[in-house]
Chains A and B, each alone.
Chain A
Amino acid sequence: MEQLTQATINGVMLGGYYAVMVLGFSIIWGVMGVINLAHGEFIMIGAYLTWIMNKQFGWEPLTAIIVVVPVMFVLGYILQRILINRIIDRPYLISLLVTFSLAIIIANATKLIFTATPRTVNTVYSGFWRIGETSITVPKTRAIVLIAALIIMGLLWLFLQRTRLGKSIRAAAQNREAARIVGIEIAAVYALTFAICIALTGAAGVLISPTTPIYPFMGGPLTLKAFAITAMSGLGSIPGALAGGVVLGLVETLIATFVPGVGTNLGIVSSFVILVVVLVVRPQGLFGGLKAAEAH
């Protein structure tokens, strides 16, 4: 019983992180119709930036967010202007090929610069809290990551619901022609959306840094998980991302806890299984979103 409770707690905490990790991917898809296969690589860049701030300047990992978010925002904006802008409105295959190439370039450039050695960051929030007299524990780092993830999602939600720019992004996602006729400049919305989503994805890299080794090829599995969660969550839905993230988090931790001899290696496999099952059973996603996922 305690084992189940422990696995559930871990799964939910992991799910909160997954939710924030997936949003950049699913909003870009929902608003611009671009499937960003370099998603995991942008998380990786965020994680490396965190590692640099941590190693060079002794920053607490999560504080790196104040550097990573603006840097990634600018990077996202530039990339949108020089690269992504050219592939919007082209068939999905083109955006898949371009972003896949981008992923390979980023990962290998990172390997050239930082070598393939896995890096870890140091945090003062190691250790865990024990719950009552039980053997159930809550790792401090993961709890803080979960809180940070919830705050980020709350801010993003407020931005999308309440601000004029946020509304223009939702409008462009829901009906592009209608957005044009009310005077929204679609190109500007796209540039802003991509920049914000890459900043958000970089922030996910900050959040993941204290809990996992950082290495140049960490991005691929993360992109795959983003795919699986997006299949469940619908495009650009924050509550959907939270629900989908928690489902994947729970599946991963429960399998790791109760299926003997597999450890966490089945994580990726469970992503795949979820992806395939959802696509077969309910291709429009489980929770709705900015708009329903659709193949153009």
Chain B
Amino acid sequence: MTMDSNNGRPLLEIQDVYSGYRTDFDILKGVNIHVKPGEIVCVIGPNGAGKSTVFKALYGFITVRQGRVLFDDRDITNIRPQDALKSGITIVPQLRSVFPQMTVKENLEMGMYLERDKKRINRQIDYIFDLFPRLAERAKQKVGTMSGGEQRMLEIGRALMWEPKLVLMDEPSAGLAPLITKSIFRGIKQLNQQIGLTVLMIEQNARQGLEISDRGYVLELGRNSYEGTGQELLHNSEVRRAFLGGH
């Protein structure tokens, strides 16, 4: 079923990965996903299929027991979170990941906690403020007082502070109203076109996720069941029946 929209070398390759929270029980049982530079790739699947677990394994929060993760031609299997950051992967987790009692600007600064060069940090903050004028307006506001959509925008902005090669987004629409969800997806697509942002995304909201994606994967019971371009999956009758509430 594979139909790559682009022929470049993959930026990220997850090869036959087995992982889980307990040593005697794997959630992921042979996951294969790859992402090429400039792509938006969306992983969909039912609850408990192991979607979030893929990210945790990628980012060093849990151990990969079997298989490999390649990034930028380097083996990054079981990398530490700090090193994932340094090698150019950032993450926007599903649960709120802002620091509510810090200002917007401080939150962005924290995005580059590992950078010691103050000038570079300030340069990057200006860069993010250019991309997200709404955040610039609220630079001094305490983040806890902002709406869910604005906080999500800040989380994405913070993930871009490092100018990452790849951003992992775990359900960017989680907990947001439908209208806000739409604008967040539109924003992700814009960033993808504007700065060539590469995104690997997990989405419960399968239809909207696939609509902005170049390619998608369906994960079931810890392994891939379907893959294809966003449009192919949107029109695949089995995928539609199972995940899109279609007919």
Contacts and interface: CB of A to CB of B under 8 A. Distances in A.
B95 A182 contact: no
A182 B113 contact: yes
Contacts of B99: 170-171, 174-175, 178-179
Query: Which of the four size classes fits the interface of chain A?
Result: 10 to 19
A175 B82 contact: no
B51 to A, nearest CB: 17
B101 A181 contact: no
Nearest to B61: A180
B230 interface: no
Interface string A185-201: 10000000000000000
B110 A171 contact: yes
B229 to A, nearest CB: 30
B172 to A, nearest CB: 15
B93 A185 contact: no
Q: Is the interface of A mostly helix, strand, loop or mixed?
A: helix
A290 interface: yes
Interface in A157-188: 164, 167-168, 170-171, 174-175, 177-185
B97 A177 contact: yes
Residue among A183, A185, A290, A291 having the largest count of chain B Cβ atoms under 10 Å: A183
Contacts of B160: none
Nearest to B109: A167
Given A167-B106, A177-B93, A184 B113 contact: yes
B52 to A, nearest CB: 12
B82 A290 contact: no
B109 to A, nearest CB: 8
Interface string A19-47: 00000000000000000000000000000
Interface string B80-114: 01100110001101011111111000100111111
A167 B107 CA distance: 10
Nearest to B95: A177
Interface in B138-177: 158
A182 B86 CA distance: 10
Nearest to A288: B101
Contact of B85 (A167, A170, A183): A183
A138 B112 CA distance: 49
B77 to A, nearest CB: 19
B81 A183 contact: yes
A69 B115 CA distance: 30
B122 to A, nearest CB: 14
A249 to B, nearest CB: 26
B59 interface: yes
B98 A175 contact: yes
A6 to B, nearest CB: 38
B93 to A, nearest CB: 6
A168 B113 contact: yes
A168 B112 CA distance: 12
Contacts of B81: 180-181, 183
Which one of A171, A185, A290 has the highest number of Cβ atoms from chain B below 10 Å of its Cβ?
A171
Contacts of B91: 181
A183 B90 CA distance: 10
B59 A181 contact: yes
A182 B110 contact: yes
B101 A183 contact: no
B102 A174 contact: yes
B111 A182 contact: yes
A179 B59 CA distance: 14
Nearest to A237: B101
A114 B177 CA distance: 65
A164 B96 CA distance: 22
A165 to B, nearest CB: 11
Contacts of B110: 167, 171, 178-179, 182
Contact of B101 (A168, A182, A184, A291): A291
B162 to A, nearest CB: 10
A175 B111 CA distance: 13
A175 B100 contact: yes
22 contacts: A164-B113, A167-B102, A167-B110, A170-B101, A170-B102, A174-B99, A174-B102, A175-B99, A175-B100, A177-B93, A178-B97, A178-B98, A179-B99, A181-B59, A181-B97, A182-B85, A182-B110, A182-B158, A183-B82, A183-B86, A183-B114, A184-B113
Interface of A: 164, 167-168, 170-171, 174-175, 177-185, 288, 290-291
Given A167-B102, A170-B101, A182-B114, 8 more contacts: A171-B110, A177-B95, A178-B96, A180-B81, A181-B85, A181-B93, A183-B81, A291-B100
